[in-house]
A and B are shown apart, each in its own frame.
Chain A
Amino acid sequence: MRVSVDPDRCCSSGQCVAAVPEVFDQSEDDGVVLLVLPLPPAELRSAVRTAAAICPGRAISVQES
């Protein structure tokens, strides 16, 4: 699985950080998403899918491989 984020679409909700703090973080200044782990290990993948589904900016894409 490869994760990517689009900072321009991010509205800083923090949903992704709440769902998988290992994969996503937020900038301290304006809360915009930061991708920590673009290639998440198997045990985090289902949580990443949840994050992508609930992201209010539809800023997270997941490429399953």
Chain B
Amino acid sequence: MTTVEPIDAITFPAPRGGCPFAPPPAYQEALERPVSRISLWDGSHAWLVTRHEDVRAVMGDRRFSADARNAGFPFLSEGRRELAAESPSFIRMDDPEHARYRRMLTGDFIIKRVETLRPEVQRIVDDFLDRMTSHHPPADLVAEFALPVPSLVICMLLGVPYQDHDFFQERSRILLRNHSTAEQVRRARDELSAYLEELAERKAQDPDDRIISRLLARGDLTRSEVAAMSLLLLVAGHETTANMTALSTLALLRDPVQLARLRKDPTLIKGAVEELLRFLSIVQGGTVRVAVETAEIGGTTIAAGEGVICMLSTANRDGSVFASPDELDVGRDARRHVAFGFGVHQCLGQPLARLELQIALETLIRRLPGLRLAVPAEQIRYRTDAAVYGVEELPVAW
């Protein structure tokens, strides 16, 4: 047994330090201890797990449950508790229940399937870039490029009309914001669910060959089950990639050496995307679990009913796995990163996210050799208050 001190030194969410891309210093300091205590918004406590090996151990161990219906599950905000309260999707379930739903979708997200989307995604990327550059600089890269690309792609895959993007983007942001009240989250979730159930109703009458219609055609899912799965895919499918695209662009603009390497050798793009996923680790609250049986992590006993927060950002800067972890190095092999999580819940959409990021960043770099920030870097506002880190706007010129 290890004694953990200082007790309760860390409050979630800990503030970021000087580097906007680095995890909060309090989490990084926690790498010196196997586990730490962290206090949450409601006064409850959980274990904070920060090391690569320990994060993988928790995420790969069925004694740690992702099911928020279990007593002691740690919620990162009032809104997140509300979100899990009703019709949870499979991200908040354990196997075998989780696997049943997930396997209905894995066929759509395997690499071979996703690769067939490459020409279509390239066309979408080129199209939004054409539109952005058809007017005079500056442009907000978030609103005109980073957000519309993955939104349109996930709409296309699900069969959701893209013209409704303002409706679902606004509500997704409310769901993922830390300071949203339970009431705001309930309303946003209910409106999104109602929208998707109504869409499912229409698809049942007039099916297409997209995911929502195919889920309905199985015949073993209710409309509300289909709506819950679509809600997860719709929200997870655009917010993450959008923030990752904009933040990656900023990180590269602020590191001209790495940007120049990528410009010179575009074949580095695949590895660069892995490195950016590692370096930026945008799922800034990490992944949450509750122990359903007593387990030992890093020499500390975690009792059944105790919550655990796995800090993906610090695991991705664990010096025992990644040399010079605080450096962005587009040439390194970063594939051991846990930016997509680990274990049975590891991101379902990762082949799609990779494809979108590779194409978006490669195209941006190739087509806009003069790409630069249109405001001083100090003026960029960061999304510190959201489940997914990123920038509010990214004013650029070219």
Contact = CB atoms under 8 A, between A and B. Distances in A.
A12 B109 CA distance: 9
Contacts of A36: none
B103 A12 contact: yes
A12 B110 contact: yes
Interface class of chain B by DSSP: helix
B53 to A, nearest CB: 12
Interface string B323-365: 0000000000101100011111111001100000000000000
Interface residues of B, number: 24
A28 interface: yes
Kindly name the residue among A15, A26, A31, A53 whose own CB sees the greatest number of chain B CB atoms within 10 A: A31
Nearest to A19: B335
B290 to A, nearest CB: 20
B111 interface: yes
Contact of B110 (A31, A50, A54, A57): A31
A14 interface: yes
Interface string A26-53: 1111111000000000000000001001
A1 interface: no
Contacts of A32: 106
B111 A17 contact: yes
B106 A56 contact: no
B335 A56 contact: no
Contact of A58 (B60, B333, B341): B60
A31 B335 contact: no
A28 B335 contact: no
B109 A11 contact: no
Interface of B: 59-60, 102-103, 106-107, 109-113, 333, 335-336, 340-347, 350-351
Interface of A: 11-15, 17-19, 26-32, 50, 53-54, 56-58
14 contacts: A11-B102, A11-B343, A11-B344, A17-B111, A17-B112, A19-B335, A28-B110, A28-B112, A31-B106, A31-B107, A32-B106, A53-B336, A54-B335, A56-B60
